[in-house]
Every structure is written in structure tokens, then in C-alpha cells.
């Protein structure tokens, strides 16, 4: 790997390890110090490595510098109260002759603890996702702003307010005890679910970024599976859902980043290994007595990876959507149900159901689906819905696809 590519690569893979270990050491009250030390470490690397030859082990170089900077901070700054400073100094002294513990076990423990610290209902969901991207995934502020179609200033303010709230509430970076895990796990899983969706359904035109968001959500979910206390059916069900969706990623977008609708996807591009993994974890997730939205959505996603286009397939999907809506109603789930309804029982019946969802009238997906349903039945109405979808979508790739559909209908 060339030098100009090495530091960005290491920033993505090693920053999150350093920040997780340092943050656990310093505590949430002083997490900004941990972030500053980690950032300064990479700044020094970019300045030093550009003038001298690369170290034999760049990652080890980063760990050593981060440890030394942490020790120097403790020696020369008096803002820590005596209790915190003494506690951390004792830990540093005990490891005087070794590097920061960046063993796989230590990193996993630190990231699990940070995951439970960040995923708190007391801060907004988008702030939880933003903190997860920054601290647990090593994303830069520019990348987070891109993911949210926002700007650096807004993201910085959002993350600052979230960290202040966590400090004010004295949130600890620690793994909850067995009694607390189930209470806290729902919020953690929801954050990972939203993080994955931010990549899979994001309006961002950055295709590589969207894929990375999904992969990071999967990595964090897998950390929960690897931990005995959180290797629960619901965790496996969510991971299964992610595997099934990710298996169709390559077939879902063309080279220009435009979404390819399900009926038009090249199923030969579906990832069979991810489909197999999804099936494995869905079976693991089915072992418990609890049926959750993740179980149902994963099973729906499973049927979408089955290549045969049979009435049985779509009737199964339709019945699963019925169960999902009873368990946890959402207008978007109801909209997706109408697609399955069209495949199982015809477009005419699906149109009746879709037009009841007037609360989605400001959503471009609502109009895109209605345009699909009306195509071949009432071309004029299909065209009107495409024009509405074009006005409502913010994504340029999506606009391009809708314009192509409009041209096809007009010709």
C-alpha cells in the first residue's frame, strides 16, 4: 500500500481501537481528551512518516505514540481531579513497560462497553448513530456529514451536544450486568439497525460510503454475537437481516449509483455466501421464544434472496408483512406490503391498499411505488406519480432513474 493511502487506511482501522481503549481509561467525562490524543497521534504520523521512512510496524508505532501521549497528558495537566488522575496513573504505571492493551479481547471489551454507553435513549437516535460512526467506526466528520446529507458544523454541534448530555447524566463506559442487558440491548440493536439502514437506504450519493455504513453496522452487531452475554436470539436475527440485505448490495445499484428495482436485479450478482450466513444466523435466532420485528424482517429478506418468482414466495412475504404490521405498525412497512400484495394478488388490489397510505404523500417512495402499480393499468396516473416522486426526492441518482422512467412512459 502506498504511503498516501496508508494513513487513511490506518485511521479507519486503528483510530477506533485507540479511542475505545483510551476512552475506557479516561471515562466519558474526559472523552474529548481521548479523542484529541488519538487525533494527535495520527497527525504526528502524517508529519513524521512524510519526512522519514515508514516504521516497520505502523500500527504498533501508533499504539506506542498514543500511550506516550496519554502518559504525558497525565503528567502535565491538572484538570483531572485527584481521584481520576490517581486511578489512571496507577493503571499506566502497572503497564509501564508494555504497549496499550490492544489485544482483540481488550478492543472488543472496550467497544462493547462504548456501544452500551453511546446507545442511550436520552440522546436522539441520529446522535447515537453519529457517535457510533465517530467513536466506534472511526469515520471522519466529513464522512458523517455526507451520510446525513448535512455539513461539518451541524454534525460537530450534534456530537458535542450528545457528549455533553452523556457527561451530564454521568453515563459510565461499562458493560451492563446481566439484569440490565435486556433493558439496554433494545436501544443498542435499534441504533445498529438504523446505522445499517442509513447505508442501505441512504440518500447519499456516495456509494462507497453507503456500503461502509452497512459493513460497520454488521461488524458491531457481530461483536455482540461474539460476546456470550449478548449472543441472544434477537441479536442473531438482526445480523441475519443485515446479511440478507447486504447479499443483494451489488445487484441493487448500477455503476452510476442508481437504485435497481428488485424485479430488474441480476440475481447472479447476489452474494451466496452472505445468503448462507444469513440463513445460519436466522436459524440461530429462531431458538428463543420471542418473536421480534428483526425476526420477521429477516425472514422477509430471506424470501427476497430466493430466486424463484412464484406465488408461494410472494404469499409468504405478504403473510409476514401482515404479522409485522400487527406486531409493530409503520407506514413504510405497510407500503412495502403493497408491493408483495401486487406480486401475490395483482396490481389492482395493491393500488387500493397503497392509496390508503396518505400519510406518505410527501415521500417519493410512495409515489414511485404507485407509479409502478399504475404502469400498464393507467399510464397517465403512473406518469403523475413519477412527476411527484421527482419533485420530492433529493438524491440525484434517484432523480436520474425517475427521469428515465418518465421518458419510457412518454414514448
Model pLDDT for residues 263-272, shown as the tens digit of each residue = 899 999 999 9
> Is pLDDT larger for residue 14 or for residue 394?
14
For residue 3, what pLDDT is reported? 66
Does a structural domain hold residue 349? Answer: no
The mean pLDDT value for 279-294 works out to 95
Residue that is last in its domain, among 49, 70, 102: 102
Residue that is last in its domain, among 85, 102, 119: 102
Query: Does residue 209 surpass a pLDDT of 70?
Result: no
Q: Which residue has the cell 467513536?
A: 135
Does a structural domain hold residue 367? Answer: yes
For residue 222, count other CB atoms closer than 10 A to its CB. 14
Does a structural domain hold residue 291? Answer: yes
Helix axes 104-118, 3-26, angle to 10 degrees: 70
> Is pLDDT larger for residue 251 or for residue 73?
251
In angstroms, rounded to a whole number, what is the distance separating the alpha carbons of residues 3 and 166? 38
- Give residue-wise pLDDT tens across range 8-18: 889 888 998 99
For residue 97, what pLDDT is reported? 42
DSSP letter assigned to residue 253: B
For residue 199, what pLDDT is reported? 85
3-class DSSP assignment, residue 259 = strand
Q: Among 129-138, 232-241, 296-305, 368-377, whose mean pLDDT is lowest?
A: 129-138
For residue 107, what pLDDT is reported? 84
Q: Are 190 and 241 in contact (CB under 8 A)?
A: no
- On whether both 116 and 200 belong to a single domain, the answer is yes
For residue 24, what pLDDT is reported? 85
For residue 208, what pLDDT is reported? 67
DSSP letter assigned to residue 204: -
For residue 362, what pLDDT is reported? 94
- On whether both 404 and 373 belong to a single domain, the answer is yes
For residue 225, what pLDDT is reported? 97
For residue 101, count other CB atoms closer than 10 A to its CB. 16
In angstroms, rounded to a whole number, what is the distance separating the alpha carbons of residues 221 and 241? 11
The mean pLDDT value for 107-132 works out to 90
Does a structural domain hold residue 323? Answer: no
Q: What is the mean pLDDT of the chain?
A: 88
pLDDT band at 218 (very low <50, low <70, confident <90, very high): very high
The mean pLDDT value for 274-278 works out to 98
Longest dimension (CA), the chain: 77
- On whether both 44 and 84 belong to a single domain, the answer is yes
- Give residue-wise pLDDT tens across range 43-60: 999 999 878 888 889 998
Residue that is last in its domain, among 65, 81, 102: 102
Query: Does residue 312 surpass a pLDDT of 60?
Result: yes
Tell me the three cell numbers of residue 246: 447486504
pTM, 2 dp:
0.86
Q: With pLDDT > 90 as the criterion, what percentage of the chain qualifies?
A: 55
The mean pLDDT value for 298-326 works out to 95
The mean pLDDT value for 91-109 works out to 63
Q: What is the domain count for the chain?
A: 4
- On whether both 295 and 379 belong to a single domain, the answer is no
- Give residue-wise pLDDT tens across range 318-357: 999 999 999 999 999 999 999 999 999 999 999 999 999 9
Q: Among 79-93, 210-224, 279-293, 385-399, whose mean pLDDT is lowest?
A: 79-93
List, in order, residues 6 or more apart from 288 with CB less than 8 Å away.
232, 233, 234
Q: Find, among 289, 264, 283, the residue nearest to 405 by Cα.
A: 264
Does a structural domain hold residue 198? Answer: yes
- Give residue-wise pLDDT tens across range 224-259: 999 999 999 999 999 999 999 999 999 988 877 778
The residue segments making up the domain with residue 397 are 361-411
For residue 82, what pLDDT is reported? 53
Torsion of CA 312, 314, 316, 321, to 10 degrees: -170
- On whether both 147 and 215 belong to a single domain, the answer is yes
Amino acid at each position: 500500500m502506498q504511503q498516501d493511502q496508508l494513513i487513511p487506511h490506518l485511521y479507519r482501522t486503528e483510530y477506533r481501537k485507540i479511542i475505545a481503549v483510551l476512552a475506557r481509561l479516561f471515562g466519558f467525562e474526559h472523552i474529548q481528551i481521548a479523542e484529541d490524543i488519538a487525533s494527535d497521534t495520527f497527525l504526528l504520523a502524517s508529519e513524521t512518516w512524510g519526512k522519514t521512512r515508514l516504521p516497520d510496524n505502523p500500527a504498533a508505532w501508533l499504539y506506542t505514540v498514543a500511550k506516550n501521549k496519554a502518559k504525558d497528558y497525565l503528567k502535565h495537566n491538572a484538570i483531572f481531579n485527584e481521584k481520576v488522575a490517581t486511578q489512571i496513573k496507577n493503571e499506566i504505571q502497572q503497564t509501564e513497560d508494555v504497549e496499550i492493551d490492544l489485544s482483540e479481547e481488550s478492543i472488543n471489551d472496550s467497544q462493547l462497553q462504548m456501544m452500551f454507553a453511546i446507545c442511550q435513549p436520552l440522546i436522539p437516535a441520529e446522535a447515537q448513530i453519529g457517535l457510533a460512526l465517530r467513536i466506534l467506526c472511526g469515520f471522519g466528520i466529513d464522512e458523517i456529514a455526507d451520510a446525513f446529507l448535512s455539513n461539518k458544523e451541524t454534525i460537530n454541534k450534534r456530537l458535542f451536544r450528545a457528549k455533553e448530555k452523556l457527561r451530564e447524566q454521568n453515563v459510565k463506559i461499562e458493560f451492563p450486568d446481566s439484569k440490565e442487558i435486556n433493558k439496554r440491548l433494545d436501544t443498542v440493536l435499534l441504533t445498529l439497525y438504523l446505522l445499517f439502514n442509513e447505508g442501505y437506504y441512504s440518500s447519499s450519493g456516495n456509494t462507497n460510503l453507503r456500503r461502509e455504513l452497512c459493513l460497520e453496522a454488521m461488524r458491531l452487531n457481530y461483536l455482540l454475537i461474539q460476546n456470550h452475554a449478548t449472543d441472544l436470539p434477537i441479536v442473531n436475527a438482526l445480523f441475519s437481516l443485515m446479511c440478507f440485505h447486504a447479499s443483494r448490495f451489488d445487484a441493487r445499484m448500477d455503476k452510476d449509483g442508481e437504485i435497481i428495482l428488485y424485479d430488474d436485479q441480476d440475481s447472479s450478482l447476489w452474494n451466496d455466501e452472505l445468503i448462507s450466513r444469513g440463513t445460519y444466523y436466522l436459524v440461530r435466532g429462531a431458538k428463543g421464544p420471542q418473536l421480534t420485528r428483526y425476526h420477521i424482517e429477516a425472514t422477509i429478506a430471506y424470501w427476497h434472496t430466493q430466486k424463484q418468482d412464484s406465488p408461494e414466495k410472494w404469499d409468504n412475504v405478504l403473510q409476514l408483512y401482515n404479522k409485522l404490521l400487527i406486531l409493530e405498525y409503520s407506514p413504510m412497512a405497510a407500503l412495502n406490503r403493497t408491493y408483495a400484495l401486487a406480486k401475490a394478488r395483482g396490481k389492482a388490489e395493491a393500488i387500493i391498499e397503497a392509496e390508503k397510505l396518505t400519510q406518505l404523500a410527501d415521500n417519493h417512495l410512495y409515489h414511485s411505488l404507485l407509479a409502478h402499480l399504475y404502469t400498464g393499468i393507467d399510464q397517465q396516473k403512473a406518469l403523475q406519480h413519477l412527476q411527484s416522486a421527482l419533485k420530492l426526492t433529493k438524491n440525484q441518482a434517484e432523480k436520474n432513474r425517475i427521469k428515465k422512467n418518465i421518458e419510457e412512459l412518454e414514448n
